[in-house]
Structure 1
Amino acid sequence: MKTLNSPNSVLILTIIYFIVIVVFSIFDFAEHPILNRIVGGSRIPLLIFIYWLHSHTKNIIYLSALVLFFFAYIMFLESTPERSLYGSIVSLIYRFLIFLLVYKSVKNKNWFALSLASIPFLFIYSYFILLINEFLNAEIYLWILNGLLTSFIGGIALYNYLFEDENKNFWLLISSILFVIQIGIFFLHQYYLEALELRTLTIILFGISNFTFYKFMISDEERENEVSIS
């Protein structure tokens, strides 16, 4: 059991995680749907396993969010209106859980300041929504709510990074910026333009944004452990 929980195990799984990201982004498995599901679908389970081995807390909300994100990915594999709607619903629940984790972890909760800090993220997100709004149906309202949550997460990250010098805030800010860009590129690829370059960029941003948020979670847990010990 010590071997399984060793830092080496986390490092090896992290390397495998990024190898999967690189392979999946370079090679198009569209003609091999089973292989596409296996390679693409292995990313979130790998991240869950990495977090489970690394974390001493095992945050249930975070683990639940990752499981939901996995199911959202499965929903979006088929480009049908019904699956897109289900995927949008699951994505919104996932984003809400991420928002809860972020909001509970930060100290500075000045709503006015956080709202102002959210404006740049909301502006970028709104631009992507305007580009594809004619292709969205009922799910447009779900994605607007998702955008509000994502933008507010970004505002929390930016405000706390500027006024609280902690390692976790660095990871949160990087993750939040990548989340917004990733969703925007995903929109363009899913609903607007099926270009190979957009697919590659979406996969890379998917991998890095989720990994940096995992680093935020670990940093936050380590910080809490230090406070409790002291």
Structure 2
Amino acid sequence: MSTWVLLRGLTRESGHWGHFPELLQERLPGARIVALDLPGNGRLNQARSPARIEATMEDCRRQLLALGVEPPWHLLAMSLGAMVAVDWAAKHRQELAGCVLINTSLRPFSPWYRRLRPANYGALLDLLFARQAARGREQTILRLTSRHVQPDAAVIEDWTALREARPVSPSNALRQLLAAARYRAPVQAPAVPLLVLGSARDALVDVRCSRRLARQWGVALVEHPTAGHDLPLDDGPWLAEQVGRWAARAGA
């Protein structure tokens, strides 16, 4: 039985996958699916977020081992979580059967103004420091990360409940940002099967970051033509289909 480990991005948690794990399970009926929280987020919101991707990666490894989930694992990771997956593949490739990297951006391949679009800096600072109600913050995040979902959608209620139940501290959010800014990926692709997925209309991270990564490492890239940064939210069925096709080709 294959195991697929899901990793979300900056300040987001396992609950933000929504219904996607069920969609993936339908596409990979024999797989075990495990959604982890990065330290400082979700069920681990009381923990201190590491200021380095390497430490976050090691924490995730410990979580899996504590759960008794034996390798090899497939990683499906987006944004900051995909940086964790890259570091995992570079340092512990014997543990991994493959990685799917969604809407990520990596030094040294892409410049800073594409890795996080400057037009969003003001909104991100407001999310960190402004005394805004939980619902308003989640509406801002939806505006930044989705191209398909309306600001008054039902998902806002779910996200607001998650924020109120397990808030991420500003200090943890800053440490996660610092970790992402610091991380430098290997020039050569890690020696595990890789798939890069990008959203052509990502307003947060320029899709050219995914294109550049795929070219640099000589790996497959598949782009969604209309989705935003939160690809599992905007088109979960499409994402599950792409992962299923790739897994079948890779013999997973």
Where on the TM-score scale, by shorter chain, does this alignment land: which range? 0.3 to 0.5
**Structure in which a larger fraction of residues adopt strand:** 2
When Rg is computed on C-alpha atoms for both structures, the one with the higher figure is 1
TM-score for both structures, normalised by structure 2: 0.35
Taking CA–CA contacts closer than 8 Å with sequence separation of 6 or more, which of the two structures ends up with the larger relative contact order? 2
Q: Scaled by the length of structure 1, what TM-score is found?
A: 0.37
